[in-house]
Structure 1
């Protein structure tokens, strides 16, 4: 038997859309929680490898409920001398080095947090294309913009924070510890202007359940990656996950990890 904690607060996007007031500071506080939790995982040597909004759940229906990280089906223990190179994760949130099938580290989780931060501030993803190959090309080049008018009311500090996490070079990319020290997270640079109308409208448009909960054709993804000549995995076959939630088998809250299955292979 495996005892698991009941998480009843619903998904991150649903809570944001339902709110009548949502600010940059709210987004900063959410990301602070996520960074705390992922830092704990990284300190324990665990890399999640599939961080995305669908895997961020509220513990309860309470207004001040904490965020829980779910679905550790692709997570791995980063052992001394071990190499991770399997192309796994969810299209749109996966780091460039993963798509390039280069050896990678826990920095891939930090990239994903950058993507999540971007979405929380505008309601749409930094990378998008109906054509999978073109989507991967965007990610590999780290090509994204802070488009007007959606980003006009967002602080330069928030944009700087995102740029440090969505840094193409994993060696220059912020760690969770560094991100927690950024003024947008630990200071007072996050703005209090209500951005709910714009963000919620974009979330409903770009992440409607009929779209972001549909199954993703993983076979097609692998085929496109081969066309892009992204190399051969040193760790095993590609594991690009569906965009739908995988009904979390393991959750981690801030300061605590609810253990079930951690992939070690």
Structure 2
């Protein structure tokens, strides 16, 4: 019996997610119900997602447990993750520290290293894809949504326009060949947000946003970063690194003292961070589904030889960005 439904965007196809119970064991699972009509012409997307999910078995990655097919639908039986979304949990906490953020990023790095070791690049890491396994206080974090992931073929070059603008690496926007390093950039952006509650790159004008990202222009603004350790800032600088050849890999990031040592501070930063998250990642803004159209528009603009400074014809790229100078933005 289904008791809860919601909608997600999966590889461009609209699908429904239902909560279901396995009759024999009474175990709860999530089932993605994908109408085959919605897949016409997109079969490769879903086949790719299934091929990837089938290979993945990691404690911090939502697993695909079974597949069923009817004449009209494809049903993916997924591990149920019931602990809620990353930002909601941080806001709900009364106490939150750098060490908490470090432990979250450690789990994400561990999972992404596992993927990279298998030759898989997620390509769309963002807070919305990070869910808690259960409501337990010490619940692990889980990576979900492999709609954009791709298994790296030996010698192949990934250069598709994908990802969410605020989290996308400069080499993607510059239309250069890219690889696993794009995930490490995204982890850097997520780490930044976890420590202040707003993203490193923001502009309502797409072209200006892309310019910031291409130059890797961001700051550790006062007062939001005043109480954050130099070690945390150093860790972020190695991931939000413009040159992907110099950017830390998951292996290097896992060896950084902020992750594996004791440099992450125990000072409570909950009040400041949760206030910024509530202001900048309000449910009504960031919960909405959005796609990579802004990135695609940017690519077209590049191909047409127009300037990056040219005014964007579209309003905000995504509803979930905040300003990197929160105090100056009207909300």
TM-score, normalised via structure 1 length: 0.85
Aligned equivalent of 1:140, options 214, 234, 250:
214
The aligned counterpart of 2:172 is 98
Q: CA 1:132–1:216 in structure 2 vs 1: closer, same or farther (change >3 Å)? A: farther
- Offset of residue 236 of structure 1: 24
Compare 219-228 and 164-173 and name the one that shifted more.
Answer: 219-228
Aligned residues: 251
TM-score, normalised via structure 2 length: 0.69
Contact 1:12 1:57 in 2 (8 A): yes
- Offset of residue 233 of structure 1: 18
Post-superposition Cα deviations, 1:190-225, rounded to whole Å, max 9, x if no partner, equal 000000000000001111111112344644542233
Q: Equivalent residues in 2 for 1:76-87 (5 A)?
A: 76-87=150-161
Contact 2:82 2:133 in 1 (8 A): yes
The aligned counterpart of 1:34 is 108
Q: CA 1:116–1:201 in structure 2 vs 1: closer, same or farther (change >3 Å)? A: same
Q: CA 1:162–1:246 in structure 2 vs 1: closer, same or farther (change >3 Å)? A: closer
- Offset of residue 87 of structure 1: 1.5
Task: Specify which structure has the higher proportion of strand.
Answer: 2
Aligned equivalent of 1:165, options 208, 219, 239:
239
Q: CA 1:2–1:216 in structure 2 vs 1: closer, same or farther (change >3 Å)? A: closer
Q: Aligned to 2:142, what secondary structure does the other structure show?
A: strand
What is the distance in 1 between the residues matched to 2:208 and 2:316?
Answer: 18
Contact 1:71 1:248 in 2 (8 A): no
Q: Aligned to 1:223, what secondary structure does the other structure show?
A: helix
What is the distance in 1 between the residues matched to 2:228 and 2:172?
Answer: 29
Post-superposition Cα deviations, 1:2-36, rounded to whole Å, max 9, x if no partner, equal 32100000000000000000000100000000000
What is the distance in 1 between the residues matched to 2:308 and 2:207?
Answer: 22
What is the distance in 2 between the residues matched to 1:109 and 1:43?
Answer: 13
Q: CA 1:73–1:154 in structure 2 vs 1: closer, same or farther (change >3 Å)? A: same
Q: CA 1:47–1:93 in structure 2 vs 1: closer, same or farther (change >3 Å)? A: same
Alpha carbon RMSD of aligned pairs, Å? 6.1
Q: CA 1:111–1:217 in structure 2 vs 1: closer, same or farther (change >3 Å)? A: closer
- Offset of residue 241 of structure 1: 15
Contact 1:101 1:231 in 2 (8 A): no
Q: CA 1:94–1:237 in structure 2 vs 1: closer, same or farther (change >3 Å)? A: farther
* CA radius of gyration, larger in: 2
Q: Aligned to 1:204, what secondary structure does the other structure show?
A: helix
Compare 123-132 and 236-245 and name the one that shifted more.
Answer: 236-245
Matched, 1:226 2:300: yes
Aligned equivalent of 1:241, options 315, 321, 329:
315
Compare 82-91 and 238-247 and name the one that shifted more.
Answer: 238-247
Q: Aligned to 1:3, what secondary structure does the other structure show?
A: strand
Higher RCO structure (Cα 8 Å, ≥6 apart): 1
Q: CA 1:221–1:247 in structure 2 vs 1: closer, same or farther (change >3 Å)? A: closer
Provide structure 2 residue ranges, at least 5 long, that are not aligned to the other structure: 1-74, 324-329
- Offset of residue 237 of structure 1: 22
